[in-house]
Amino acid sequence: MERGAVLAFLWLATVGLLQEEHKQRIGFCSWKCLKFVQMWPGSFCVALGPRFDCVIPADADHWTIHGLWPSNIMNCCSCWPLFPSDLADLSKQLAEHWPTFLNASSFKFWREEWQKHGTCAGCLEAFSSPSKYFGAALALRTPYNVDRAFQRAGIIPSCNHSYQLHTLQEALVPIMGQEQELQCVTDGQARQVLVQLKVSLFSNFSAGCLEEGAQEFSPYRPCHSQSRIFYFPLNPKNPRQPCP
């Protein structure tokens, strides 16, 4: 090899090693499972702190996306900023299916999700740009459609009727298997209220991924089977107390 070629080769090899070392140092690709997290707008504000404004758009009458989270890892890279133009093609779908309920701009929510979780997913080709990452999450609503699974099982939002945990779980098993977690909050009347659903996916998007010692980042608790579970209807006029 010519000297120039050797130098170029050494330079490229060094850059490659440095990039690899950087990725390993921050654990970029260390995750095995992804959590696809969907939330129920009807109860999002039930346990929301008073310092947050809560606004539920009337058309958010379906389960919405909270995020797509590589497990056990957060905030991988502040070096990859997100701009509105990155999501221009998806913004209509995102506004419908991935809205914020905090009376803030939805873009701010998407940017936080990208910063916290998306940048850690980017080492997989399927997520290697913001539009791929957000597009992949939107696409997951089809196989993991909670609204349809509940409707098929006759599980409908109600202030009067409550459900057993196993009834809700059984409705979801056909589409997402056993490895799902329903999360609840407790309202002012000590009712257990369904608010969020997490399904754990392999990087090929199949459900059922299990990871030992996985850390959870969530203000919500797993719903428990000792008391019945309320699935509150949407009440945009009184979202903190949809069922007084």
Ligand X SMILES: *[C@@H]1O[C@H](CO)[C@@H](O)[C@H](O)[C@H]1NC(C)=O
Q: Which residues bind ligand X (CB under 6 A)?
A: 53, 55, 103, 158-160, 202, 204, 206, 233
Q: Which is nearer to ligand X, 50 or 213 (CB)?
A: 50
Would you call 113 a catalytic residue per the annotation?
yes
Cα→Cα distances 208→7, 34, 117, 176, Å:
47, 10, 20, 8
Report d(CA 183, CA 196) in Å as an integer.
Answer: 5
- Tell me if 185 sits within 8 A of 220, measured CB to CB: yes
Active-site choice (113, 125, 161, 216): 113
Contact 205, 137 (CB under 8 A): no
Tokens of 208: 């059922």
Name the residue nearer to ligand X (CB basis): 204 or 226.
204
Q: Is 97 a catalytic residue?
A: no
Closest contact distance (angstroms) between CB of 178 and ligand X is 15
**Min separation Cβ 108 and ligand X, Å:** 13
Q: In sequence order, which residues have a C-beta less than 8 Å from that of residue 3 and are 6 or more positions away?
A: none
Smallest distance, ligand X to C-beta of residue 161, A: 7
Q: Which is nearer to ligand X, 131 or 206 (CB)?
A: 206
| Helix ranges, 26-129 (H) | 91-97, 106-113, 119-121
What Rg do the C-alpha atoms of the chain give, in angstroms?
21
Is 22 among the catalytic positions?
Answer: no
Rounded to a whole number of angstroms, the minimum distance from the CB of residue 202 to ligand X is 4
Residue closer to ligand X by CB (options 77, 214) is 214
Q: Among all residues, which ones are annotated catalytic? A: 66, 113, 117
